[in-house]
Amino acid sequence: MDSPVWCAPISRAVVFGGTHGNEMAGVCLAKHWMKNPSEIQRQTFTTECCIANPLAVERCVRYIDQDLNRCFSMEILRSPAAPSDSYELKRARDIFHKYGSGDSAVDFALDLHNTTANMGVTYLLCRNNDLFSVHLVNYLQSKSGDLPLPFHCSLTDVPEKDLVYLHRIAKRSLCLEIGPQPHGVIRADILSAMREIVNHVLDFIDLFNQGKEFPGFEMDNYTFFSRVDFPRDSKGEVEAVIHSELQDKDFAPLKPGDPIFKTLDGKDILYEGEKILYPMFINEAAYYEKKVAFVLTEKVRCTFPALKLMH
Amino acid sequence: MDSPVWCAPISRAVVFGGTHGNEMAGVCLAKHWMKNPSEIQRQTFTTECCIANPLAVERCVRYIDQDLNRCFSMEILRSPAAPSDSYELKRARDIFHKYGSGDSAVDFALDLHNTTANMGVTYLLCRNNDLFSVHLVNYLQSKSGDLPLPFHCSLTDVPEKDLVYLHRIAKRSLCLEIGPQPHGVIRADILSAMREIVNHVLDFIDLFNQGKEFPGFEMDNYTFFSRVDFPRDSKGEVEAVIHSELQDKDFAPLKPGDPIFKTLDGKDILYEGEKILYPMFINEAAYYEKKVAFVLTEKVRCTFPALKLMH
């Protein structure tokens, strides 16, 4: 096992809801905590709460002009404002200015999402070197045993140029996806799971700040492999739907020859890859326009060193 | 049992998809049948297929300016066009002109919908005197035994002034609601159930046109009782969510004292009605803005006379 990694304490954290305005568990909790912040306060650090895309929340849509959660490249964030900038570009710069840059940058960002896919509780991390957040996920998995949802960790080392997600504004961050939940709907079970997990996140930070050491460990991760689009006709119309044998099977092994789509003429389309992969975001409503029917990942066993507080 | 009701044959039928542009099973089937109409043709009548709200379908939203399925009052349909008319008002008049008025009016209209509520297959009828469609529903229930979804009939005698739904353009009509399915998503199981039912609808019309007699019968109906909104604060924000014990329990008996909402502070809100009712449209995404958390119905056993073809 490698030698421990030392991390500075967290003094300022932020929880984002409504990065997508119709993902309602995060929207509902963020609104509640902005009015009633006591639940998200801990002894050793401050936690703020922010509705990332307030206009999209007001209209209960994913976004106004473009997907806010694809606007956080450093190129965009550092470019000068222009009159033609979309609403989301302006919001991205405002959020970066308030939470992501300079002396007052937050030490940790948590971004709350829902998906129509049957992904249970999925923790998305985009930097392999964010050992703090990997330990956080390991802690969450140990605490999530009572939840009625399966949980998974998707850890991918996204190259700097492809880092376009809101939670990248902090060096330590986590994006939480919980589903299945239709967009525009608040389900009590999903809301309650998300609320419990956010509280565990804040407890972990508090424990870490108090000097608790977290030993090294092994964990399965699902790393990005590829995106698969729906079969489409020459006009771009979907010609086949997610096969009933694939629907709701997020993170189950997909084997060469397994059916993945069914055409409206009743033909099965099979997975022609060469090895077993693990699909996620199967039939996510918002991904039809992104030309993504599901995302394929590889399951990788990883070893992580211990985490200690740097005083 | 009452004496039989005699109905004229059906010579022209229309199937609408995309009345709400993000209810994808109907959208997907209507697009398919407009390109490949053979599946919906029968010997004794013609069937057309129509995307009711094409711009909403293109944008994958429920509507552009207002809910098309609330635009079909005779007052609206007969009022003169005005430059300030919404997109949906124009569409409603176009649809009425093409399918609902004059010598070429259709004899039967079928409107295909999806819901995020766990309503299985629900047949919505709005006129008690539409005996043809009541017999159609009885036939569909006899044919739907193999479907993996429960089925229900909601038959309400809507007063003429409140008849604002698309399918009212024909004197004989049916609105089909299938769920649960997130808006913007095509689920293979829901698509397949809807397709099978549409084929049964057309088979029934064909049998009827050929002179088959349908004997009188008894059936449970769920008739409209009231709409229940979410508890809201002074700004109109939802303050409580559908209780986990009510979620997904469409058409199950709701008894006085049963929990219906849970506040974000953890308090249960109970059903204070005086008698057992049957909720539907529980947590339908599109009804948050209509201030409807669920719709209450009464379960009524009804007797219907036989149906015969009028030559």
Cβ contact A311:A8 at 8 Å: no
Contact status of B32 with chain A (Cβ, < 8 Å) = yes
B184/A238 CB distance under 8 A: no
Cβ contact A47:A11 at 8 Å: no
Cβ contacts of B182 on chain A, cutoff 8 Å: 116, 180-183, 185, 285
- Topology of domain A5-219+304-309 in CATH is Aminopeptidase (3.40.630)
Looking at the DSSP assignment, which residues form a beta bridge with residue B278? B297
Q: How far apart are CA B299 and CA B224, in angstroms?
A: 9
- Model pLDDT, residue B155: 85
pLDDT mean over B81-110: 94
A283/B186 CB distance under 8 A: yes
Indicate the CATH number of B223-299 among 2.30.38.10, 3.20.20.70, 3.20.20.140, 2.20.25.160: 2.20.25.160
Residues B189, B191, B194, B199, Cα dihedral to 10°: -110
Domains of chain A by residue range: 5-219+304-309, 225-296
pLDDT in tens, B98-142: 999 888 799 999 999 999 999 999 999 988 889 999 999 999 999
- Model pLDDT, residue A222: 94
- Topology of domain A225-296 in CATH is N-terminal domain of TfIIb (2.20.25)
More confident residue, B11 or B1: B11
Q: What is the sign, positive or negative, of the torsion defined by CA atoms of A156, A158, A162, A167?
A: positive
Contact status of B191 with chain A (Cβ, < 8 Å) = yes
Contact status of B187 with chain A (Cβ, < 8 Å) = yes
- Model pLDDT, residue A1: 57
Cβ contact B277:B296 at 8 Å: yes
A241/B187 CB distance under 8 A: yes
Cα-atom radius of gyration of chain A, to the nearest Å?
20
Which residue in B has a C-alpha nearest to residue A116's C-alpha?
Answer: B182
Cβ contact B112:B25 at 8 Å: yes
Q: Which range has highest mean pLDDT (B72-81, B147-156, B171-180)?
A: B171-180
A184/B286 CB distance under 8 A: yes
Cβ contact B250:B299 at 8 Å: no
pTM attached to this predicted model: 0.96
A241/B189 CB distance under 8 A: no
Under DSSP, is residue A84 helix (H, G, I), strand (E, B) or coil? coil
Cβ contact B227:B296 at 8 Å: yes
Instruction: List chain A pLDDT tens, one digit each, 311 residues.
Output: 579 999 999 999 999 999 999 999 999 999 999 999 999 999 999 999 999 999 999 999 999 999 999 999 999 999 999 999 999 999 999 999 999 988 879 999 999 999 999 999 999 998 888 999 999 999 999 998 777 788 888 888 888 888 999 999 999 999 999 999 999 999 999 999 999 999 999 999 999 999 999 999 999 999 999 999 999 999 999 999 999 999 999 999 999 999 999 999 999 999 999 999 999 999 999 999 999 999 999 999 999 999 999 98
**Identity of residue A111:** D
Choose the closest CB to B185 out of A28, A191, A283. A283
- Model pLDDT, residue B1: 57
- Model pLDDT, residue B149: 82
Choose the closest CB to B116 out of A31, A61, A185. A185
